[in-house]
Amino acid sequence: MSDNESSIERIATMLAASHSVLFVTGAGLSADSGLPTYRGIGGLYNTNTTEDNIPIEWAISGEAIIERPELTWKYLAQIEQACRGARYNRGHEVIAEIEARFERVWTLTQNVDGLHRSAGARNVIDIHGDLHNIRCMRCPYRQTLDDYSQLSFPPRCPRCGGVLRPDVVLFGEMLPEDKVQTLYEQLSAGFDIVFTVGTTSVFPYIAEPVRLAAVSGRPTVEINPDTTSVSHMVEVKLPLRAAEALDAIWNRYQQKTAP
């Protein structure tokens, strides 16, 4: 049995002993749907400045969308175009299937593509928002939009004429209070096992669930081909792509628990 097969067997055994599960997911999961990872959205984040000679961290910041909304929308549209037409993959499906089977399952995701919900997951904390949810910056108007290609930049609210924006967390903005509250309520309840999938876990609120589980002696699993900021603290490290690993774990779990 290879090291990966041994790890999959061990993870399936831990999962079989669990009633509650937390998945913490990042761009590596959606990469298996063909979406580029954070530093690879059309090369957008690969250099210090954009084609407009402005740091990308400013171009898509909360400050910029107020001062130069047309510029922010230009780069948001590039991100949306990279996501457009993408479908959820087997990794998203497995998480949704586990949610349907287990007593309590939540997913904390940094991804703004909405693919967890498309795959059928319901207990999703999309901590950075969803590109498809659009809101007015001046009035309560909201809409869902799957395609930015027909928009003028910046788009205007049909009710009040204010600037529209995606309901996502831009650079320099605070995380949404309601989602942070939900996250910490669920963390307070505890989880029998925590998976971190396809994320480098550089943000403290993304690493924290793994740290809390580790210090309390709960099983922790990392699925990522690369070494990350939480690799040293997880119980099992599976260096595979997200969809491949989740499918293998779920198949082995079902074999172990079949009547």
- Which positions are catalytic? 128
Which of 174, 175, 197 has the alpha carbon at shortest distance from 23? 197
CA angle 75/76/80 to nearest 5° reads 120
Q: Which residues, in sequence order, are CB contacts of 121 under 8 Å at separation 6+?
A: 92, 95, 96, 99, 107
Q: Look up residue 60 and give its DSSP letter.
A: T
Can you tell me the distance from the alpha carbon of 44 to that of 40, in angstroms, rounded to the nearest whole number?
6
Which of 18, 5, 26, 17 has the alpha carbon at shortest distance from 222? 26
Residue that is written with structure tokens 């690993």 in the block: 245
Q: Name the H helices within 130-237.
A: 177-189, 204-215
